[in-house]
Amino acid sequence: MTRTRFWKHCAWSLALLITLIVGTAAGCRGEDAPDAPTATPTVSEGGLTTTTPTPTPTLDPGLQGEDREVAIWGQSVCELARTFAVDFLASGDPRNPQELSLEERKERADSIFPAQFAAVDAALDGLGVIAPPERTAALHDLLRQTYEGLREALRDQEVIIEAADDTEEIAFSNMTVNEWISLAFRQAELLQNAGYCP
């Protein structure tokens, strides 16, 4: 299976899993619960990303057993995904890479990688301490695989950029990383749309 087909498979698998278990997730906040505000990443001057604070949601007091566990899991995983998005985007550099020389692009990458790795590692650490209920265990594992795939792609890109002889090699190395980032963001959006995020 090629990498591209693997990513599409992961995305479709995640969408299918969410569709199969969305019926119970939609009721996690109760039928009449209002939509809670969510963290909203915004780009401020200098290219840094900031976020609007997310209020701590309350669980429907009528939830019991696994329904309650799923609701708690959803809150935890959605907050983790929001934090990842904000931290990863904050690693950006406002300069246009197309206008930079090879050495400048290498320096730019060196300055960005630490924050990107920190965001991915924090997400993986968070997933490692969140205990998923049986109903969402496969979904939890897919999220973990996505962050692991992104970390591996970043490591590969780091090696490629260090050895690059021209800017085209660097631009090409972005493609794989960008696909993993897009997958992580699509998964976060699917979690939101499926009702897991308060």
Inform me whether the pLDDT recorded for 113 exceeds 80: yes
Give dist(CA 112, CA 180) in Å, integer. 17
Read off the pLDDT band of 67 (50, 70, 90).
confident
CB 139 within 8 Å of CB 21: yes
**Burial (Cβ within 10 Å: 0-12, 13-18, ≥19) of residue 92:** middle
Give dist(CA 163, CA 106) in Å, integer. 10
Read off the pLDDT band of 4 (50, 70, 90).
low
Q: What is the average pLDDT across 55-71?
A: 69
Residue 169 CB partners (closer than 8 Å, separation 6+): 160, 161
Angle 53-143-125 (CA atoms, 0-180°, nearest 5)? 65
Inform me whether the pLDDT recorded for 24 exceeds 50: no
21-25, 156-160, 171-175, 185-189: range with lowest mean pLDDT:
21-25
Which pLDDT does position 63 carry in this prediction? 64
Q: Which residues pair with 51 in a beta bridge?
A: 41
Give the pLDDT confidence of 118-176 residue by residue, as tens digits. 999 999 999 999 999 999 999 999 999 999 999 999 999 999 999 999 999 999 999 99
Percent of the chain clearing pLDDT 90 (strictly above): 60
Give me the chain's average pLDDT, please.
Answer: 79
Taking the CA atoms of residue 2, residue 92, residue 124 and residue 194 in that order, the dihedral angle to the nearest 10 degrees is: -80
Q: What is the average pLDDT across 83-103?
A: 92
Rounded to two decimals, the pTM is 0.72
Q: Residue length, the chain?
A: 198
Query: What's the distance, CA 125 to chain centroid?
Result: 13
CB 45 within 8 Å of CB 87: no
Inform me whether the pLDDT recorded for 110 exceeds 50: yes
Read off the pLDDT band of 93 (50, 70, 90).
confident
Q: Provide the angle, in degrees to the nearest 10, between the axes of the packed helices 102-129 and 137-163.
A: 160
Give dist(CA 184, CA 99) in Å, integer. 28
E strand spans, 125-190: none
